[in-house]
Structure 1
Amino acid sequence: MALADPAQTAPPQSRVKILWPIGLGLLLFLMGLWALHHLLASIDVHQVIAQIKATPWPTLGAAVGATALGYLALVGYDFWALHYLGKQLPLRTVALGGFLGYAFGNTVGISVISGGAVRYRIYSAAGLNAFEVAALSSYIALAMGLGLTMVGVLALSVHPAALAGVISAPEPVIRIGALAATALILGGAFYLSYTGRALRIRNREIAMPAPRILVGQLAVALFDSTMAAGALWILMPAGTPPFASFVAIYAAASMVGILSHVPGGVGVFETVVIAALPAGVPLGEAAAGLLAFRMIYFLLPFVIAFVVVSLNEARLAGGWATRVFGEISEPMRPVISGIEGLAPRIAGVAVLGLGFWMVIVALMPVLGRQGGEPGLITAVLAEGGTQLCALAGVLLIVLSHGLVRRVRLAYWLVLAGLVLGVISVLAADLDIDNAVVLSLAAVVLLPFRGAFHRRVALTEGGYGPLWFAVILGMVASAAVFFFLAYAAHPYSNALWLDFTASSPTPRALRAGLLISALLLGFLLWLTLRPMRRFTFSVDPEQDVAVAEILTSQDVPQGWFALTGDKCVMFSPDRSAFLMYAQRGGMRVVLGDPVGPPETARQLAWEFHERAVSEGLTPVFYEVSTKNLPLWIEMGYALHKIGEEAVVDLQKFSLTGSKFKTMRAEQNRALREGFTLEIASPPHAHELIATLRDVSDAWLAGQKGREKGFSIGRFDPRYLNHCEIALIRRGGEILGFANLLGGPNARRFAIDLMRYRPEAADGVMQFLFIGLIEALRDRGATELSLGLAPLAGLPDRASARLTSRLGNLIYRHGGSFYNFEGLRRFKQKFRPEWRPHYVALPPGTSPYLALTEITLLISGGARNLLTKD
């Protein structure tokens, strides 16, 4: 299941980079299933299930206790990562972020929910920015990989026979190699830590934390791996190697599972563990232990985390949950509110899992409890219930994708599907246990109702290769499970016509046929359906509608929608809009969607899905920080492109020593006869003609032609929407700038700034100061001086290559554009610098995207070399 179709959203040259990890993961998963089928061909699935049910409660309790201690250790990774970044957060916040991150990330792996997305929601609400959360997630991934590798090779050096069934080498050779690897890992890590040097691998650099943090991190890794291995070892049968040896087996299996890119390492992890066990270990009991481990170490924390999020959603809404569990404390309220955006993804994954479980129940009725005496009524109920169970399972699997997309209809249909599931398991086998589980799932989903607000078609957009891979993996898993369960029952055509209540095999066959037909039919329909083309026609009343929205929203950047070189997409109720242009295979939005927050977010989703449905790459350029959760939710990557200079008009003053030089220059300009006048639209033809002369004279001194998209161009239609600041001397207009913002707005921005070449000295500074004072007197609060491209990009060794390349251009790119000088000039006005980003869907090359956007702005490659 995926948020988007990454193969469609990526340009053609990037699609291979997206598809090959998905294809490789699916291939390795299928290979793992085949290996498991080969290894477990002799076992009886019924006995495995009976073995799990017969596991003593003290054994289960010990495994649960080891799991609890393991997750407590996992939170330690977050604790030390925050120390590494020099950040301090309340322990409750770290515990919540760590537990939820690992509970969802461990279960789902590389799917739509990741530990990083969960942590972003929680830690950003606690004060960390997106780049700090990204650095924290990267640190945790490296720390876990380093710790797991160290524990594995250390255990292998003590007990080299642990992987004798996997590694065909003499024990002394394995021991020496493991000791050498341990020494290399520990020695190298502490050397880099003490010296402060970084390890360079191709174009990446890895820096170790301070020795104190490194020691704490290694202790966490040792405890975490030991507890996780202990939880599995407790559940394994007699004959399993001693615990110290088993730790090496667990570490090796975990590493192979991680490297396989299979979500949760399902199938791959189990194959390595079983292959490494001695020949005398009963395979059926080992399979029971591994299955119980999956349920305790992965599924149980996910369920607990799901319930925690649901209860907090209910507490935020007030009512019974608040009365029972109390109010959320004020310090934790922003953090708990931050989790709210995760609800659709969490619900989608949970429903996907429930759907798959119902498919398995339909294929193997023995999972339920056989109820009633054999007879006609019992046979009818059993047959009907099994087929309904299969239908409900497929329905939940398909609808889970709609939940991720926040579709309201999907939410209500899922609740109906869960009710149908309860009826089916009760009718088929009087299966009280599964009926209770499905009922509780419906109850837990109820507090999430407000998260599903989108009124769109269930099957529009988003069905990408990752979703298809997940479905194929589920079908393959169900098939292997079916063949293992009924290997002892020879096939006969007569089985299809056996409808007796005491014959579960025929029911399972018919359920399998129904499941296969439904899923295959749905996948074929998705693949073969005609592509729906979305057209964006220019509305004759477009400018009027845009102006009405801008009047209520007061977003200066939104006025670029009136330049005439972009298309505008409105929300269904025309209360929000976004502006975009298309170049090549990219459809590029300028700025954040404009309108009421919730409507604007829905519009962004709609734009994304419409672009994807046409095979285009949606890109959001020059977005601010206010919608960062939305881009994370949509799976977009953020790349900083510069900083916007915003002057607080009510605080600005030329008094003080810092403005002594500027004050003197302003007084000199006034003595020379400079004046500022703000002309309101519509403007006289004579004024427009004069301004065109000024503009042409300014353009004559530049390389290239007029730009566009993110910059206004001299167009009378556009200028007649804007107030224009005029700089005069003795009645002659020396320069001008148009203002973005309505007459009663409180926030303004400057777009075109043009002047006669002979008046270049000091005219822009006079314009800025004059506007600041004039707008302040009108009661305005902000004036944007525009973006400083490539300014403020991180220059650390661990920063993205795009950021370091941007810094290089910023410092040494004066031949193309005076980036540093522009920022230095705007800094004279002591503005607040606000970061701006380009938001890119998964797999989209930032270099290609920024190249296309640059060409879109400049109007072609020949116009890039300009100093305007």
Structure 2
Amino acid sequence: MTLPDLNTLRRILPIALGVALFGLGVFALVHLMHSLDPATVLAQMKSTPPNALLLAVAATAVGYAALVGYDALALQFIAKPLPARIVALGGFLGYAFGNTIGVSIVSGGAIRYRIYSAFGLDAFQVAAVSGYIAAALGTGLTLIGLGALSLHPWVVSQLVPFSPGQVRFGALALLFGALGLILFLSVGRHRLRLWRMDLHLPGPRSLAAQLVITLIDVAAAAFALWILMPAGTPPFASFIAIYAIATMVGILSHVPGGIGVFETVVIGTLPQGIAVSDAAAALVLFRILYYLLPFALGFIIVSVNEARLAGGMMSRIAGRIPASSRPAIEAVHGFAPSIAALVTFGFGAYLLLVSLIPSVRESAMVEGEFVAALLIEGGTLLSAMLGVVLLILSHGLARRIRAAFLLTLAALAGGACAALLNNLDLETATLLLAGALLLLPFARGFPRQAKLTDAVFSPGWFILVLGVVLAALTFFLMYRTTPYSNDLWTEIAHGANTPRALRAGLLASALLLIFAVFNALRPVRRKPVSAQEDGVLEQVSTILNKSGHPHACVALSGDKQFLFSESGASFLMYAVKGGRWVALSDPVGDTAEFTDLCWSFIDLARGASAQPVFYEVSADNLAIYVELGLGLHKIGEEAVVALDTFSLSGSSFKSMRAAHNKRQREGLSMTIALPPHDDAVMRDLQAVSQSWLGGKSGFEKGFSVGRFDPAYLDRFPIALVRRDGRILAFASILAPGDGSRVAIDLMRYLPDEASGMMEFLFLSLIEHYRDAGALELSLGVAPLAGLSSRSVGRMWSRVGRFIYRHGGAFYNFEGLRAFKQKFRPDWRPRYIVVAPGLSPTRAMADVALLIAGGPRGLIGK
């Protein structure tokens, strides 16, 4: 038995801690509510005074307005201010969806990236915003909680083995210590070395504004709950301490929204005279108003924006989009399918719970009427069945499958009919129909024609379904006083809630079991094709010429596999190494099909028990990878020369211009040979290549770079450097389509002609393609260049910078970038994108083996 490595333990321990805290919270909650009557809780919720509900809604509005202030301060901190309307949209949607989904720094960060990147922020700047928000909220919440505890220490006397005096002393010590450290760092502009990170705080003014925002946020949220609490609840000043402690414990639990954990702490700190049912009713209402209501408002905002983008009658009804806001609205469209999937999952869980929880409404049908009992029976069973169907369809929606969207609309309409059969439940029927109507504008976000059940067994989907099932199983607590009898399964009557719930639960469980078995037995369908299959490279070449993407031409090297879109107009190239499927660069072809291709690639990789990796992707499509839940790590920068503005005139190019002219006088010349190439020329090139390889450690490279293969080189123009008719150096040129974008691929020269050869060849190519009317020339990627040295840098950045500075024995990365910098290029970032939990260094090791052709290619002969 092998023990898990350190990286595995680091990934497992936080999850294990979260599961343990969640389990303890559920255990404590069940213990506190063992005598709870759900009918009493529902009745208490309905009897809540309207003015208390209005005040709670108003407090919620104030709280969310304050939360948006965090975004404004974070953008100011990184010196990237945005228009107020954009900050309001990104901040509100980030919190509205993030607070409900849980792990707000991830889900809220993904939403912010979509919106803020449309206005110039990159992935790391948005990550800095999310990190700032998390740190500000955590710090402010801690300070407020400690301050409230120092004033009201008795509120936690039942939870900790300390006296109120000891709690007050400990809270004050921690409070003043934290305040002193914060002021020292902020006023003195000092940095704090915390484990492996250097942290620094904003200035005093920003820090004061942050504290004010935190006070408003926490006070508003605490008031929204306090106003709903029953009589006997501690005064508001004391209740803030209870709320702050419960929120902190909920965040530490890693449970979405702190569900169960938050409620346990609040109920456990209340005076003993307060009925648990009354407190539970207030907590449920608080969840609805503070979490579900903003989520519903955010869903409506996204739906309206989708209608405005759809065109036709929908856009006329919803109104036109101002030009200044259109980038943000179009950015919102990117995560609309994920929101639709989440809403559908919520409706599925809701229908399951409705079918299992007994009705507490006054009967809408005649008591004892057999037909009425049958209708209620059918409505309950149909609700349970459609609840499971919606859970399954939500996975298809997350993967943007068209059939899942259409079936979701049908299932919601069916659920509304089932609700009417189930005791004329008009509220549920209205809710489901409203959801279906709001989903209609989302139709454009579901273009895929994939199978509904492909890759459905993802860990995230299993965890979500398990949570719903566990929540649904609590219905047994509601019927614990009903003695079990076999007759319960067959009894049909208007008031037979227990038998009806048992049958509904059995049906829902049976559907999930059948679905699981069906998927487990389905054969895996694979669509990738290899480069050796007939017609594949010709199809790839056609797509390349339409796209004009020069670096993607390495797809023709013959060492990759391809995944084509359904239309055949786009492809994604990849290779398999160990347990990783490594896709090279972004998809190529029709940009509208890129998301679908990435989804399909991930599905296929995970179906083969492998981890998907995207290597050397550009910044153009980062939003797709963020939406897929993958992690971004910068691996270098591509040097691209703008040919339409390039000129050797001026003092900055004086020495380079003089050296170039000198080599021309010495007899060097460069010409471009177009394919197909003469056999004699190819033999001369092979001699140069073999001579060049003899002076390098390692074998012929591949995967992300071209290799010397006559069939491969015969597809491209080749730059030839000669002296007295003899070929001294050459470079293959990737120039697909109209040739407006070109790139240098394979470049080799005779070792004894190394001095100044690369500079001469690069300058000659720049001038040639500039005169030919090309717009840009790529000089290739400088690996590991441009990695962040800021305090927010990750371990990968630190490792990469170390290799970049000290890896000369392996490859002169720093010298390569310095050489290319002489041509004043535009440096464009390149990334490796990996699944959560996969180390980028481990993924890069596999990529290095792919490029080198194996371990021998890395260490040489």
Calculate the TM-score normalised by the size of structure 1. 0.96
Corresponding residue of 1:283: 276
Native 8 Å contact 1:533 1:613 kept in 2:
no
In 1, Cα distance between the equivalents of 2:597 and 2:56? 47
Residue from 352, 362, 383 that aligns with 1:389: 383
In the alignment, structure 1 residue 228 sits paired with structure 2 residue 221 = yes
| AA of the residue aligned to 1:100 | L
CA distance in 2, matches of 1:186, 1:753: 59
Is 1:167 the counterpart of 2:188? The answer is no
Partner of 2:499: 506
Q: Verify the 8 A CA contact 1:681 1:723 in the aligned structure 2.
A: yes
Question: 1:185 corresponds to which letter in structure 2?
Answer: A
> What root-mean-square deviation, in Å, do the aligned CA atoms of Structure 1 and Structure 2 show?
2.0
Residue 303 of structure 1 deviates from its aligned partner by 0.3
User: Which whole-Å CA distance do the structure 1 matches of 2:808 and 2:858 have between them?
Assistant: 13
Question: Aligned to 1:59, which of 52, 59, 71?
Answer: 52
Deviation at 1:113, TM superposition (A): 7.0
How many aligned positions are there? 856
Asked if the contact 1:462/1:612 (under 8 Å) is kept, the reply is no
Q: Aligned match of 1:486 in 469, 479, 498?
A: 479
Matches within 5 A, 1:710-721: 710-721=704-715
From 649, 658, 665, the equivalent of 1:655 is 649
Change (3 A) 1:416 1:21: farther
Distance 1:100 1:379 in 2: 44
TM-aligned CA deviation for residue 521 of structure 1: 3.5
1:579 and 2:568 matched = no
Aligned match of 1:87: 80
Does the CA-based 8 Å contact 2:546-2:737 persist in structure 1?
A: no
CA distance in 2, matches of 1:456, 1:81: 40
Cα distance between partner residues in 1 of 2:77 and 2:504:
54
Instruction: State which drifts further: 838-847 or 359-368.
Output: 359-368
* 1:578, distance to aligned residue in structure 2 (A): 1.9
User: Structure 2: where are the runs of 5+ without partners?
Assistant: none
Residue 670 of structure 1, aligned match among 652, 664, 668: 664
CA drift at 1:598: 1.5
Equivalent residue number for residue 135 of structure 1: 128
How much has 1:729 moved relative to structure 2? 1.0
Give the whole-Å Cα distance in 2 for the aligned partners of 1:368 and 1:611. Answer: 50
* Aligned 8 A contact 1:817 1:866 in 2: no
Q: For residues 357 and 493 of structure 1, what CA distance do their matches in structure 2 show?
A: 28
SS at match of 1:169: coil
Distance 1:181 1:399, change over 3 A: same
Whichever residue aligns with residue 759 of structure 1, its letter is E
- Corresponding position of 1:5: none
Name the CA distance, whole Å, in 2 between partners of 1:12 and 1:437: 49
Distance 1:743 1:51, change over 3 A: closer
Shift in CA distance, 462/729, structure 1 to aligned 2, threshold 3 Å: farther
Structure 2 residue 511 is matched with structure 1 residue 518: yes
Aligned-partner Cα distance in 1 for 2:486–2:15: 38
Listed as ranges, the matches of 1:409-424 within 5 Å are 409-424=403-418
> Where does 1:441-460 land on structure 2 (aligned, <5 Å)?
441-460=435-454
Q: 1:36 aligns with which of 18, 23, 29?
A: 29
Q: What letter corresponds to residue 80 of structure 2 in structure 1? A: K
Is contact 1:45–1:484 with CA below 8 Å preserved after alignment? no
CA distance in 2, matches of 1:499, 1:99: 48
CA contact (8 A) 1:116 1:134 kept: yes
Q: Which amino acid aligns with 1:775?
A: Y
Determine whether 1:539 maps to 2:533. Answer: yes
Measure how far apart 1:777 and its partner are: 2.3
For residues 377 and 557 of structure 1, what CA distance do their matches in structure 2 show?
70
How far apart are 1:681 and its partner, in Å?
A: 1.1
Q: 2:249 matched to 1:256?
A: yes
SS in 2 for 1:366: coil
Distance in 2 of aligned mates of 1:322 and 1:139: 37
C-alpha separation in 1, matches of 2:823 and 2:274 = 76
Aligned residue identity for 1:580: Y
Select between 298-307 and 163-172 the one with higher mean Cα deviation: 163-172
Distance 2:264 2:801 in 1: 47
- Counterpart of 1:645 (choices 625, 639, 645) is 639
Q: Which runs of structure 2 are paired with 1:788-807 in the superposition (5 Å)?
A: 788-807=782-801
Q: 1:536 offset after TM fit, Å?
A: 3.6
Aligned to 2:195: 202
* Equivalent position SS for 2:461: helix
Q: Does 1:606 align with 2:635?
A: no
Q: TM-score, normalised on structure 2?
A: 0.96
Matched, 1:769 2:763: yes
Q: Partners in 1 of 2:400 and 2:501 — Cα distance? A: 34
Cα contact 1:30–1:476 (8 A) shared by 2: no
Q: Which residue of 2 aligns with 1:150?
A: 143
In the TM superposition, residue 684 of structure 1 has moved relative to its aligned partner by 1.4
Task: Tell which deviates more after alignment, 203-212 or 85-94.
Answer: 203-212
Q: CA deviation at 1:856?
A: 1.7
Structure 2 counterpart of 1:262, one-letter code: V
Q: How does 1:88-487 map to 2 (within 5 A)?
A: 88-110=81-103, 114-366=107-359, 370-374=363-367, 375-480=369-474, 482-487=475-480
SS at match of 2:755: helix
Any conservation in 1 of the 2:105–2:130 contact (CA below 8 Å)?
no
SS state at 1:429 partner: coil
- Bigger drift between 491-500 and 230-239 goes to 491-500
CA distance in 2, matches of 1:15, 1:804: 20
Deviates more, 1:537-546 or 1:19-28: 19-28
Cα deviation digits, residues 44-100 of structure 1 (max 9, x gap) = 110110111111100100111111111111111111111111121111111111111
CA contact (8 A) 2:637 2:829 kept: yes
Deviations 1:120-172 (A, max 9, x none): 11111122111100011011111111111111111000000111111221111
Q: Structure 2: which amino acid aligns with 1:34?
A: F
Do 1:17 and 1:843's aligned partners in 2 also have CA atoms closer than 8 Å? no
1:434-493 deviation digits (Å, cap 9, x = unpaired):
11100000000000001011111111115222321221221111112x133223433332
* Aligned 8 A contact 1:26 1:469 in 2: no
Tell me by how many angstroms 1:704 deviates.
Answer: 1.9
760-769 or 604-613: bigger deviation = 760-769
Which range is displaced more, 36-45 or 834-843?
Answer: 36-45
Name the counterpart of 2:731: 737
Q: Secondary structure at 2:645's aligned position in 1?
A: coil
- Alpha-carbon deviation of 1:862? 4.1
Secondary structure, aligned partner of 2:492: coil
Which range moved further: 453-462 or 406-415? 453-462
Q: 3-state SS of the aligned residue for 1:256?
A: helix
What stretches of structure 1 of length at least 5 have no aligned partner? 1-10
Distance 1:599 1:227 in 2: 44
Residue in structure 2 matched with residue 4 of structure 1 by the alignment: none
Query: Among 828, 852, 855, which residue is 2:846 paired with?
Result: 852
Identity of aligned residues (%): 52
- Kindly provide the amino acid, as one letter, of the partner of residue 387 in structure 1: L
Most deviating of 739-748 and 208-217? 739-748
Give matches, 1:745-824, under 5 Å.
Answer: 745-824=739-818
Deviations 1:594-636 (A, max 9, x none): 1110123322221111111001111111111111111011111
- What SS class does the counterpart of residue 627 from structure 1 fall into? helix
In 2, Cα distance between equivalents of 1:242 and 1:257: 22
Q: How does 1:686-705 map to 2 (within 5 A)?
A: 686-705=680-699
Q: CA deviation at 1:36?
A: 1.8
Residue 7 of structure 1 is matched in structure 2 by none
Instruction: Name the CA distance, whole Å, in 2 between partners of 1:575 and 1:318.
Output: 25
Instruction: Supply the distance in 2 between the matched residues of 1:611 and 1:709 (Cα, whole angstroms).
Output: 18
Deviation of the 1:569 alpha carbon? 2.5
Structure 1 Cα separation of the partners of residues 110 and 60 of structure 2? 23
Question: Which shifted more, 471-480 or 609-618?
Answer: 471-480
Task: Tell me the secondary structure at the aligned position of residue 114 of structure 1.
Answer: helix
- Deviations along 1:701-728, one digit per CA (max 9) or x if unpaired, are 2122211111111111111111100011
Is residue 620 of structure 2 the alignment partner of residue 621 of structure 1?
no
Distance 1:776 1:583 in 2: 40
